[in-house]
Amino acid sequence: MEKLSIEQISPQEVKPQVLFQEAKEDDPEYEMALPISVTQDESKEDIEKGILERLSREHWYLQEYWRNKVIQEQIVLEVGEVVLEIFNFQNEQLEDWQLEQIRRVVTDYSQLRNSPVFSLVKSIVIDNEQPINPHSGKEMNGWGGSDGAVKLYPAALKPIAHRVTGVSNLEGTLIHEFAHSLGVEFENMWRKEFGWEQMEKPEQLMNGTWRLEQNIEPERCITEYARINTAEDICESMVGALRNPGALDPARYRKIHEELL
């Protein structure tokens, strides 16, 4: 049974408190402790700083960027056994059509087979700032990181079309960013299956980033953006598979269907 519950909260800063305590072998929760390696010349402050940096890579809310912002709206989305929290840093609350599109995408992903997405992604974070995509030089829609959250930027929430024909920008962005968490094994399979190879001479893109891969049949990629690398090909193909299968290369659709749908 699908359930959507919205909890309105007063604007608040992201200020989680991190407390450090050394675990002893006879502690009841010793096996849950975080193992670290230290040297004799490291101070207590240095050790705690290193731990916080490590935790920050895994938990978005510990990162300095977000700790300096104010949450304007918090929403809990439950779809079956999937529970996601939406943290909205924009001044405008999400509209009903936006919530419905988010719910629809989460529902689709909750029904995938062999998918690690929701074991990795626990939050959707909506930023109030608009970065530029280093690959295209255009407004960035989102970011699928390894820190427990998918990020959406203001451009993703605009009522405009996505790169994949017939798909809204919000649904397309969310499908795309969730797909970044399908895992290394899936990516390696896709790279081999669909002709991705390392470039002999990397190509510099916008903002100084580099393109390191090329496809032997780029015309089979569903969008120009999908031609950047294996990961973006997977993510754009997932948008096509879930929203416009007729626009997707049949071999790519079959593979997604066999592995996930």
Give the model's pLDDT for residue 1.
Answer: 47
> Quick one: pLDDT band at residue 194, thresholds 50, 70, 90?
very high
Residue 2, pLDDT > 60, answer no
Mean pLDDT of 238-253: 98
Q: Confidence class of residue 51 from pLDDT cuts 50, 70 and 90?
A: confident
In this structure, the number of other CB atoms found within 10 A of the CB of residue 205 comes to: 15
Residue 165: how many other CB atoms lie within 10 Å = 13
Distance between start and end Cα atoms, the chain: 20
What is the spatial distance between Cα 214 and Cα 51, in angstroms, rounded to a whole number? Answer: 37
Task: Evaluate if residue 4 carries a pLDDT over 70.
Answer: no
* Range 58-83 average pLDDT: 92
Say how many C-beta atoms besides its own lie within 10 A of residue 142's C-beta.
26
Q: What is the mean pLDDT of residues 112-137?
A: 93
Rounded CA-CA distance 63/65 in Å is 5
> Could you tell me which residue, 20 or 219, shows the higher pLDDT?
219
Check: CB of residue 226 under 8 Å from CB of residue 237. yes
Q: Residue 20: its pLDDT value, please?
A: 73
Which residues make Cβ contacts (< 8 Å) with residue 34, sequence separation at least 6? Answer: 51, 54
pLDDT of residue 44: 78
Angle between helices 169-179 and 230-243 (to 10 degrees): 130
Determine phi and psi for 211, rounding to 5 degrees: -95, 120
Least confident stretch, 30-39, 188-197, 233-242: 30-39
Identify the pLDDT of residue 7: 55
Q: What is the pLDDT of residue 47?
A: 76
Q: Is the pTM of this model over 0.85?
A: yes
Torsion of CA 49, 86, 253, 97, to 10 degrees: -150
What the block records as the tokens of 256 is 């997604």
Is residue 219's pLDDT more than 70? yes
pLDDT class of 8 with cuts at 50, 70, 90: low
Average of pLDDT values for 94-105? 96
DSSP result, the chain: -EEEEEE----EE--------PPPTTSTTGGGS------TT--HHHHHHHHHHHHHHH-GGGSHHHHTSEE-EEEEEEETTEEEEEEE-SSSPPPHHHHHHHHHHHHHHHT-SS--HHHH--EEEE-SS-PBPTTTSSB--EEE-SSSEEEE-GGGGSSSB-SSTT-BHHHHHHHHHHHTTS-HHHHHHHHHHTTEEEEEEEEE-GGG-EEEEEES-GGGSSSSGGGS-HHHHHHHHHHHHHH-GGGS-HHHHHHHHHHT-
Across residues 16-41, what is the average pLDDT? 77
More confidently predicted of 229 and 24: 229
pLDDT (tens digit per residue) in 141-152 = 999 978 999 999
Q: Which two tokens stand for residue 26?
A: 């006879």
Q: What is the mean pLDDT of residues 199-211?
A: 79
Residues 227-235 have a mean pLDDT of 96
Distance CA 174, CA 151 (A): 9
